[in-house]
Chain A
Amino acid sequence: MPCWFRACECGQCISRIPCAGNSSGPYQDRRNDMSPLNIKKGSSSHSAYDLRDYHEQGTERHTLALIVDNEAGVLARVIGLFSGRGYNIESLTVAEIDHTGHRSRITVVTTGTPSVIEQIKAQLGGVVPVHDVHDLTTEGVAVERELALFRVVGKGDVRVEALRLADIFRAQVVDSTLDSFVFEVTGTSHKIDAFADLMRPLGLEELARTGVVALARGEIDAESGLN
């Protein structure tokens, strides 16, 4: 069963902090035996609030593209909505895409149950400077890319090995000193994860990632918005 919070992988707890891995730990899900007030009367019951069991529905990863007015505070409105309502942000990129009309595109990768994803989209649609909300995960096929820079420091064999692997991953060498390279890799997030894993034993000192940008492929049907 997937853990509610990605940080902990024990599969049983609801903590943001990875727990010790045993279910009797301090972060155990106590929703079914809560007795915070230690009152004698009655037994446990369900609650009036929908303390939904987040394990019930599986979480999904969705890539959302928003077209917004590039005005002061627009990014704060969008991310404030996520934090204020307890939604997740896995990655976020933003840049102005129309310099005359002052429109920006915000690409958010988020996770949640299908109903939470629907709620996120509805809430985003209600933000005044947000013009369009596209769920690239459901609206047909989309291309996703992320760019990352890696500084790898090393001499001798490891340096050669790093260069060879970089070639396999079609990474560009964008800077070099006698004992270091800076590689540029473009690809899916998985590819960048994989390259980082390979570089780690070869002297990876630092890396920087842009976060995901995504675009729907093919011709978009004007009516349905699907490709």
Chain B
Amino acid sequence: MKQEQMTGASMVVKALQDQGVDVVFGYPGGAVLPIYDEVFQQNRIRHVLVRHEQGAVHAAEGYARSTGRPGVVLVTSGPGATNAVTGLTDALMDSVPIVLLSGQVPTFMIGNDAFQEADTVGITRPCTKHNWLVKETDRLASTIHEAFHVAMNGRPGPVLVDIPKDVQFASGTYMGPDAAQTGHYAPKVKGDVEVITSLAEAIETSKRPIFYTGGGVINSGDRACELLRRLVDKTGFPVTSTLMGLGAYPANGKNWLGMLGMHGLYEANLAMHDCDLMINVGARFDDRITGRVQDFSPSSVKAHIDIDPSSINKVIHVELPIIGDVAHVLEDLLKVWKSRGAKTDAPAVTEWWDQINEWRKVDCLKFEQTGSTIRPQYAIQRLEALTKDHPDRYICTEVGQHQMWAAQYMGMNDPKRWMTSGGLGTMGYGFPSSIGVQMAHPDALVINVAGEASWLMNMQEMGTAVQYRLPVKQFILNNERLGMVRQWQELLHGERYSHSWSEALPDFVKLADAFGARGIQIDDAADLDDGIKEMLAHDGPVIVDCVVEKHENCFPMIPSGEPHNKMLLGEKADTSNAIKEGGAVLV
């Protein structure tokens, strides 16, 4: 084992290099100057200067979710760390591996209300998987290695290492990743074979089965996605997915039902409600999925594969809980099921598909584009049509109606191609995320489907995109409204649109111009295709200001307080009585 002496600051850079980090997103400041000095003196790690620390974390999330490797962030003490809190919480909710290194005032000043001091480990304790304040340089390297271990193992998540400035200056012994004690943190990855066997039995006899998959499949890795595809194909069962899990099973696969949940597809939600076997793979029965818990899929046997024991039986009681990594469990499940003859109740499943195809005839995403005013669904549909054949396409979204339309109308055929803020619902996530994705995949087509209000929340990152020549395409559906807020106010608050419109919006074309990027405005349906093509053709960051119908509602929708089989459907939906009083308290 090598025993190298070095300063804490060089240890940070060395540890990151040894962890295989190639990109760091950050913002310098007083308490991280020694680390920045080391970053300056090397070429292996590329540092991306963001314009706000929240943007750094979201960019790292985009990087992590599109590569499967941890995203690394470097920020200063005090405001640097507090600005990162939203990003950390977002990463915690969506299980994104992030390693955030923050500077801290020197150890002897901690607790003195020093300049730019904040109790960073205290503030970030509930929004990280784990965090550390390193007080001795000798422990710095091993702590950083442990941080990577914790971020990546088990259910992935954000971790934070707070490094006081004197620890960065002092010398200590470096320790490599192999020598570091990654401790006892070793979550179980193999599922219980007995329960897996019971699940295989259930698969053999089920008459109305469904796979309900989530982000856990993608987090588990490409092997898990491959195994899921194999299992779905071999069984012939229908598969639906949460917002986070889109792409794990391909949208052009023959068993794909589309997304489920509050704005999910009619056939997916009805299949969930009427199934007799629900196989939850790496999803967590989020309230956007379940609707009214008492009426959630009342007649099904439920299996739940999750690496996080606290996700099991938290919301919905399941008969077949399997704690383990999706790839390991699916591998065992396939093995067991095959060894038992790979049987299913095929005639019953065919009947089940007939029923599902009946539901499909409702065509819940149908809309009509007439006249020159662009309907947002049409804009997304055209964007999809013109980009779906691109060999290397990544889609990010902000949060709101446009996010749901993108999930409904765009098809993800591969994992790690869809970056969106699901759990926390962070407006302002998409743009910095697209920067992170583009950093990881310089030649790919990276599109951020945005709403104008969300996009403005982190618009300062235009500077980053231009500085690093990242050709991210910002496709803004501009309805001059906080569309989803407006929709809820229409459905539930007597059409009193309290503060849900955007006044004094910037001219997005001029804004792009001001940053040295390309701006395109599209305000006529006839010009939509040309505008999108122009966006795709431009080699550089583009802002598309796509002016759309202002009062479009996002359907289908399960009104809060209702079960899956009481969906509101598009055009003809009677929204006048949609959300009952009991549902009004919900978000």
Q: Are B310 and A125 in contact (CB under 8 A)?
A: yes
Interface residues on B, range: 35 or more
Residues of A within 8 A of B576 (CB): 41
* Cβ of A34 under 8 Å from chain B: yes
User: What distance in Å separates the Cβ of B236 from its nearest Cβ neighbour in chain A?
Assistant: 32
Contact between B315 and A50 (Cβ–Cβ < 8 Å)? Answer: yes
- Which of B125, B290, B309, B317 contacts A126, CB < 8 Å? B309
A100 within 8 A of B: no
Interface mask (B565-587 → A, CB under 8 Å = 1, otherwise 0):
00000000000110111111110
Report chain A residues within 8 Å CB of B295: 46
Residues of B within 8 A of A131 (CB): 184
* Interface: B462 (CB within 8 A): no
Query: Are the CB atoms of B579 and A125 closer together than 8 Å?
Result: no
Contact residues in A for B583 (Cβ distance below 8 Å): 45, 47-48
* B309:A73 contact, CB within 8 angstroms: no
Contacts known (A42-B577, A128-B185); A47 close to B310, Cβ less than 8 A: no
Q: Which residue of A lies closest to B491 (CB)?
A: A41
A45 touches B121 (CB 8 A): no
Residues of A within 8 A of B133 (CB): 72-73
**Cβ-based interface call for A43 (8 A):** yes
Contacts of B125 in A (CB 8 A): 73, 76-77, 80
What are the residues of chain B within 8 A of A201 when measuring CB–CB?
none
Are the C-beta atoms of A45 and B562 separated by less than 8 Å?
A: yes
Chain A, interface size: which category?
20 to 34
Residues of chain A lying within 8 A (CB to CB) of residue B150: 128
1/0 contact trace for B118-129 toward A, CB 8 Å? 000110011001
Given contacts A46-B294, A48-B291, contact A126 B310 (CB under 8 A): yes
Closest Cβ of chain B to A117, distance in Å, is 11
Q: Do A122 and B582 touch across chains, with their CB atoms under 8 A apart?
A: no
Q: How far is the CB of A103 from chain B (nearest CB, A)?
A: 11
Q: Nearest A residue to B184 by beta-carbon distance?
A: A131
For residue A37, which residues in chain B have a CB less than 8 angstroms away from its CB? Answer: 492-493, 581, 584
Check if B494 is an interface residue, CB within 8 A of chain A: yes
Report whether B585 and A34 are in contact in the complex, using a CB–CB cutoff of 8 Å.
Answer: yes
Query: Who on chain A is nearest to B561 by CB?
Result: A45
Given the complex of chains A and B, what is the CA–CA distance between A36 and B586 in angstroms? 11
**Given the interface contacts A34-B582, A47-B560, A47-B583, does A122 sit within 8 Å of B315 by beta carbon?**
no
Asked if B309 contacts A47 (CB within 8 A), the reply is no
Candidates A41, A43, A45, A125; contact of B309 at CB < 8 Å: A125
Please, which residues of chain B bring their CB within 8 A of the CB of A128?
129-130, 150, 183, 185
Residue from B185, B308, B314, B582 within 8 A of A46 (CB atoms): B582
> Quick check: is A44 within 8 A (CB to CB) of the other chain?
yes
Best-surrounded residue of B310, B576, B586 (most CB of chain A within 10 A) = B310
The docked-state distance in angstroms from the alpha carbon of A77 to that of B128 is 11
**CA–CA, A72 to B135, complex, Å?**
11
Q: How far is the CB of A201 from chain B (nearest CB, A)?
A: 45
- Interface hits, A66-88 → B, CB 8 Å: 72-73, 76-77, 80, 84
Is there a chain A Cβ closer than 8 Å to B313's Cβ?
yes
Task: Give chain A residues whose Cβ lies under 8 Å from the Cβ of B154.
Answer: 126
13 contacts between A and B (CB under 8 A): A36-B584, A37-B492, A37-B493, A37-B584, A41-B580, A41-B581, A46-B292, A48-B583, A48-B586, A50-B287, A126-B310, A128-B183, A131-B184
Min Cβ gap A135→B in Å is 14
Given contacts A46-B582, A131-B184, contact A41 B310 (CB under 8 A): no
Q: Say yes or no for A193: interface residue by CB 8 A criterion.
A: no
Given A39-B494, A48-B562, A48-B586: A119 in contact with B314 (beta carbons within 8 A) = yes
B281 at the interface (CB under 8 A from A): no
- In Å, the complex CA distance between A41 and B287 comes to 24
**Which residues in chain B, 373-431, are within 8 Å of chain A measured between CB atoms?**
none
